[in-house]
Amino acid sequence: MPARLDAFRPADLTADQRELYDRLLDSARATGSRPFPLADDEGRLRGPFNGMLLSPELGNALQELGSVVRFGTGFTSRQKELAILVVAAHERSDYEWAVHSHAALQAGLTEDQLTAIRTGADCPLDDPVESAVLTATRELATSGDLTDDSFTAATDVLGLPRLYELVTLVGYYRLVADQLRVLRVTA
């Protein structure tokens, strides 16, 4: 399906759009090893970031939340990528999967683990925190909630503050997956 939103050209941005554009390109997510750069060769934003320019105030709030979710929680990179991939698989978000499977491999997850995450198969993990993240995220992605037993199990391992961060991470990446789907953004 063709994209429903053309990528904004930097020269055509309003002042508010340009402010957000510059903020995105100066952010932590624009640095480091990425399989898909934040902008193409012409400077047009890729992925969910182009859509943020439609409403710069809302886009800025969303990118701020995304930045905290990605870089400001108590989760390790491996734990975050595990949760993000569970959401990407559940939401069938090819863009999120492509970007975050690369990051997950860099964080130490294996190809076999990625396959298990993508298919919903059993995914043996040695770390009890990773197991709790996987179990809770799968339930959150599927039902949007945790049973009382699942809540207790997750808080026993993660603690309530970390579980709160996980619920926020899942909600953020579900929102991004919806935006990518509606705007027909591809990798």
Confidence of residue 35 (pLDDT cuts 50, 70, 90): low
Higher-pLDDT residue of 75 and 36 is 75
Q: Are 24 and 30 in contact (CB under 8 A)?
A: yes
Residue 185 pLDDT greater than 80, yes or no: yes
pLDDT (mean) for 93-122 = 95
According to the model, what pLDDT value does residue 100 have? 93
What digits encode the pLDDT tens for the residues 62-105? 999 999 998 999 999 999 999 999 999 999 999 999 999 999 99
Question: Which tens digits make up the pLDDT trace of 125-175?
Answer: 999 999 999 999 999 999 999 999 999 999 999 999 999 999 999 999 999
SS percent in the chain: helix, strand, coil, step 5: 70, 0, 30
Coil/strand/helix, residue 169: helix
pLDDT for position 1: 77
Max CA-CA distance within the chain?
54
pLDDT at 34: 59
**pLDDT given at position 30:** 74
Q: What dotted CATH number matches 77-183? A: 1.20.1290.10
What's the predicted TM-score (pTM) here?
A: 0.93
Nearest one of 95, 28, 16, 83 to 56, comparing CA atoms: 16
Spans of all domains in the chain:
11-71, 77-183
pLDDT of residue 2: 86
- In whole numbers, what is the pLDDT of the chain averaged over residues? 94
CA 97 – CA 43 distance, rounded (Å): 23
| Pair 84, 100: CB distance under 8 Å | yes
Place of tokens 């579900």: 174
For the beta carbon of residue 127, count every other beta carbon within 10 angstroms: 14
